[in-house]
Every structure is written in C-alpha cells, then in structure tokens.
Chain A
Amino acid sequence: GAGVSQSPRYKVTKRGQDVALRCDPISGHVSLYWYRQALGQGPEFLTYFNYEAQQDKSGLPNDRFSAERPEGSISTLTIQRTEQRDSAMYRCASSSSGSEQYFGPGTRLTVT
C-alpha cells in the first residue's frame, strides 16, 4: 500500500512536556527503525524492532526516550520531559528484509 507514514508532521511543545511520535510502517514490513536527525547532520540511529521485539535500543540518548511496537506494526517513540536539545527531525523507516530501508517523511519536533 502506501509508504511509511509519520504523525504528526510538525510538533511544537513546551519544555517539560511529554510527546509521542507515531510511525506507521509499510504493511508486512518486519523491521522498523527510528532515527533522529539534527540540522546539517546525517540520521542518528535510535532504536529498531523486529516485529514487536525491540532488538537494539543502544542509540536512545537517555531514559527519557522510549519506543514501543506492541503489535508488530505501528510504533510510538515517546520523549518524556522534553528539553530544547531534543529539537530535531525524527525519522522512521521500515524494512522487509533487514536491508533496504523505506523512510517516512519525518516529524519535525521543536521544543520551546
């Protein structure tokens, strides 16, 4: 069907608030990845899932960041007590074979 979708596309939040970013992968894709991208830099790996199992969360910067994919499809990346340094583009990608990744449009998060 359609490609990877993410919502919201833009999120402005005040410092200290929690935010939840959603990723809807391509139907049937086993693997789902989260990245963060600061302006002028490449995507920075955060975490990835195979089905509902979180395989690697070594890229999550601290315990304010968490992700889940409870039914092996849609995933949510949650940032608690946001800080200004969390402002970035958050990108989601999915893959059927663990190789080529298909990216969503990203969520631009701004913490004021």
Chain B
Amino acid sequence: AQRVTQPEKLLSVFKGAPVELKCNYSYSGSPELFWYVQYSRQRLQLLLRHISRESIKGFTADLNKGETSFHLKKPFAQEEDSAMYYCAPDNYGQNFVFGPGTRLSVLP
C-alpha cells in the first residue's frame, strides 16, 4: 500500500538554526515527490517538487530512492517559515497521498 510518513508532528527550532523535516514513503513505481505548505490562514500551496531541483524560500529537498526519503531542509530557519508542511508523492494523478504533516515552529 502507498504510505507516507512524517515522523515529527511538531518541530520547534530557533531562528537562524538549521531545520530538517523528514519524509519517508512507501510507493510502487517512481512517484514524483512534492512538499506542500500551509501558512496560517492561507490555503495549501506547493512549496517545491523534486523534479525541478529548485530551492524555494531557501528550502531544498533531496530524493533518496535507496532510503525512500524526501527530507526538506533549510540551513537558516526564519520566523516566517512557521507553518504546516506536508510531504506528498504523486504517482501521476493516481492515489494521491499526503503525509500527516509536520508543524514547524520557528522561535525568535
């Protein structure tokens, strides 16, 4: 069965500290991997996708097929990064599954 795990429900870091939000997946085929973010009182939106290999708002995510992981990283967290983050593999529109989410809290 397709599964996504995000082991931390809540992650608190101080401003300027590095942050890593973990995501592991169990998926057949070669899914495309996404991170979605939801800031307070805003709608869910795409943060980044592995295929584009971009850095968005200082965040990067590396797909590790051996470990089936897609951890989201940022070297220096900012207070405005506080939000809910969801890891989501997409098997090209089939059985789209979101992880349970990690709430990132960046403390001043």
- Chain A residues near B (Cβ < 8 Å): 3, 31, 33, 35, 40-45, 48, 50, 55-56, 58, 91, 93, 95, 98-106
Contact = CB atoms under 8 A, between A and B. Distances in A.
A37 to B, nearest CB: 9
B43 interface: yes
Interface residues of B, number: 21
A42 B93 contact: no
A100 B97 contact: no
Interface stretch (B14-22, B60-68, B74-82, B98-106): B98-106
Nearest to A97: B93
Interface of B: 4, 9, 32, 34, 43-46, 49, 86, 90, 92-101
A103 B93 contact: no
Contacts of A101: 46, 96
Given A42-B86, A43-B44, A106-B43, A99 B98 contact: no
B96 A48 contact: yes
A98 B92 contact: yes
B43 A105 contact: yes
Contacts of B96: 33, 45, 48, 101
B103 to A, nearest CB: 9
A45 B2 CA distance: 12
B46 A100 contact: yes
Contacts of B44: 43, 91, 93, 103
Contacts of B32: 99
A102 B98 CA distance: 14
B93 A98 contact: yes
Contacts of A41: 100-101
Contact of A100 (B43, B49, B86, B99): B49
Contacts of A95: 93
